[in-house]
Amino acid sequence: MPDSATYPGALSELDFVECYSQSTLRKPQVAADSALRTLVLASQGDRVLLVGLVAEQLAEAARRLVAVHDALADRTRNIARSLSAPLPGIEAWISFIQGAASCPAEEMLRRLNLNETALDAAVRLRAQPDLSSITPLVAASASLNAMILVPGLDGRRAPNELLLATGGTGTTAVALGVREEDAAMLADITADLSSIARGFLGAYLSARRGAGRRD
């Protein structure tokens, strides 16, 4: 078993997973909500950039959810060590949404070896309308050169869209609307995915704490 020095801050295995659940998984939701509140009184140029920030948080929340799902689904590896690895990329995201889209909630619990305290999270995951719609955002986030570009910030015309772009080989750009309602929709999905991931990991932690044992 890895000792506490393996994890940041010399935390124990379960303390690391607890901190990951309470802070790392919450960060995209908190950041997206903060950007949304700031957006209301921001200048036009800043408003557009804040929408981009919300979109980036959504992509991170999606990848964090995949990280939690994959860590719980493969118990041959220490959960904390799995969560310490780099975030999953676009291939893992596509595999996740293909499985989640057709997996009943009860089957999801069996797949993740979780008890019924995680049922609400599994039901909410199954109820997500179209996770494939954010795949381009995840792809941009997972690139090594992700960037926000806003045509029109030179002041010659009002910006009406932003681009989440990737540079280098396979350059792509994802166009997003810049209205407040666009940002609110992205923030809502961010909150959903962050909450689902925390629901899964919280059920795991409760079972582990209750059993009073280590893997």
Predicted confidence (pLDDT) per residue in 117-172, tens digit: 999 999 999 999 899 999 988 988 888 777 877 766 665 545 556 777 776 655 56
SS3 of 77, please? coil
Q: pLDDT band at 79, cuts 50/70/90?
A: very high
Helix 135-142 vs helix 90-101: crossing angle, to nearest 10: 150
Residue 103 within any structural domain of the chain: yes
The pLDDT assigned to 22 comes to: 96
Which range has the top average pLDDT, 4-13, 93-102, 110-119?
110-119
The pLDDT assigned to 199 comes to: 98
Predicted confidence (pLDDT) per residue in 11-63, tens digit: 888 999 999 999 999 999 999 999 999 998 888 778 888 988 999 999 999 99
The pLDDT assigned to 126 comes to: 93
Give the CA count within 13 Å in the CB-facing half-sphere of 133. 8
Residue 174 within any structural domain of the chain: no
Measured CA to CA, the distance from residue 21 to residue 27 in angstroms comes to 10
The pLDDT assigned to 128 comes to: 93
H or E element in which residue 46 lies = helix 44-73
pTM of the model: 0.88
Residue 1 within any structural domain of the chain: no
Q: Are 125 and 108 in contact (CB under 8 A)?
A: yes
Residue 25 within any structural domain of the chain: yes
What total of structural domains would you count in the chain? Answer: 1
The pLDDT assigned to 215 comes to: 45
- Structural domain including 101 reads 10-143+180-211
Name the token pair of 148: 């926000």
Residue 159 within any structural domain of the chain: no
The pLDDT assigned to 25 comes to: 98
